[in-house]
Amino acid sequence: MSRTQTLLAQAMLLTFSTMSASVAYADVTVDMAADTSAETAIANDSIANDTASALPLTESEAQEVTADDDRNWWRLLRKGQLDLKDTTVVYPKFIGFCVDVYNWGDWFFNSTDEEYIAGTGKRWKAFIKNDNWVDSYAMNLGYNMPIRIMSDMYCNLGAYIQYMAVSVGYSIDMSNVIGNKPSNHRKYEFGFSCARFNVRAYFNENTGGSYLRTFGDYRGGRLFKKEFPGVQLSTYGIDSYFIFNNRKYSYGAAYSFSRVQKKSAGSFILGFSYSNIDISIDLAQLPYPLNYYLSIPATLYRFHYDTYNLLVGYGYNWVFRRNWLFNITALPIIGLNHCREDSSERGTNQMAIGGKGSMSLVYNWTDIYLGLQGHIDGHWYRSRTHSFFSSIEDLAVVAGVRF
């Protein structure tokens, strides 16, 4: 290559390098400018946001925040002003869901027609109750020995205070106080009711104080009264009722004084009951001269069985005058009896037949109420060798005040 060509090539290479450097420098300049613009934009946005945050709320926004704070559920609860039916109360999501479920249940189970049923507006009640009951038995042992037995009438007097469905109180056995008789009986009850259903659990025990009233051919089958220590009773169970016409008929108005029936109405009732009944009749303890009239072995007859029953019946509330209410309820029962292994007829099954009945007379005057209530619970045990009907009858007088 000539010297002239060499010099020309070097000149072209230098020119190309200079142009490349200029382009690279221009690119760097553009990138830096872009970065600077982006940073400037971000800074401006941040300043704008800070400025917006620092601006005071409008009057409507401030009122909305204040209203939400005033309707906060916790604040209302601490003030004692929380109403679960108030739709303006602000709850957390889970607590709000629970409140919605409660309100639905209250509507489904407690909704009533205000033309027929009125609430009392009170949650507390204080009352005194005089409770009197007997247990009675009619049997034909071996289908050859008809016997009737009845206990003494047991009398309790108690004072109670109640908040909604929960009550506490104390009762005195008046049979022991007045008649100086031994306390050989016990009775416990627990109940819960709402407009649509009612549940009752109970326990009864009697270990003495029973009397023979008829005994085979003794005195020609006529009534008499002779003490018989050979009877023992123990029974417990649970009853549950579903009320179909709960919007117009109130079971609680007649028996728990939780509502007021304004107009007469009735309802079909469907229920289920379970009872464990344990009754012993020891004929070896017969007093003289009844043992001479005994036509079956003088031994222990024990009826210990579980009974499962379906209840179908009707209840009616009759408002015959202002502030007055009369209720009558009849519940025939049908089901199955299963004898336990310690029963005289161990392991056998029979059809269960019986009935539950109740009546109530109520007077309401402002927040004061008076009530007269009666109940009967009867079970018929019938097998190939024995027929045995047992029942518990109860009469109570109640006086109380709502507040």
What local confidence, expressed as pLDDT, does residue 182 receive? 65
Q: Where are the domains of the chain?
A: 1-55, 75-110, 117-402
Residue of 313, 353, 310, 309 lying closest to 330 (CA atoms): 313
Residue 86 DSSP class: -
Q: What is the pLDDT of residues 23-47, one digit of tens each?
A: 333 333 334 333 444 344 444 444 4
pLDDT at 43 (0 to 100):
42
Fold for 117-402, please state it: Lipocalin (2.40.128)
Q: What are the structure tokens assigned to 55, written together?
A: 């601006």
The pLDDT tens digits for 66-86 are: 555 678 989 888 888 888 888
- 261/245 Cα distance (integer angstroms): 13
Q: How far apart are alpha carbons 73 and 76 in whole angstroms? A: 5
- Find all residues with CB under 8 Å of 227, minimum gap 6, and list them: 210, 211, 212, 287
**In the block, residue with structure tokens 């199955």:** 336
Q: What is the pLDDT of residue 176?
A: 72
pLDDT at position 180 is 62
How far from chain centre, in Å, is Cα 171?
24
* Predicted local distance difference test score (pLDDT) of residue 68: 59
Residue numbers in the chain where pLDDT is lower than 50: 1-54
Among residues 130, 138, 131, the alpha carbon closest in space to that of 391 is found at 138
- CA dihedral defined by 99, 103, 108, 112, rounded to 10 degrees? 160
User: Distance of CA 171 to CAs 127, 131, 184, Å?
Assistant: 12, 10, 15
- Whether the Cβ atoms of residue 171 and residue 132 lie closer than 8 Å to each other: no
Alpha carbon of 227 to those of 149, 154, 212, 258: distances in Å? 10, 15, 6, 42
Its pTM stands at 0.75
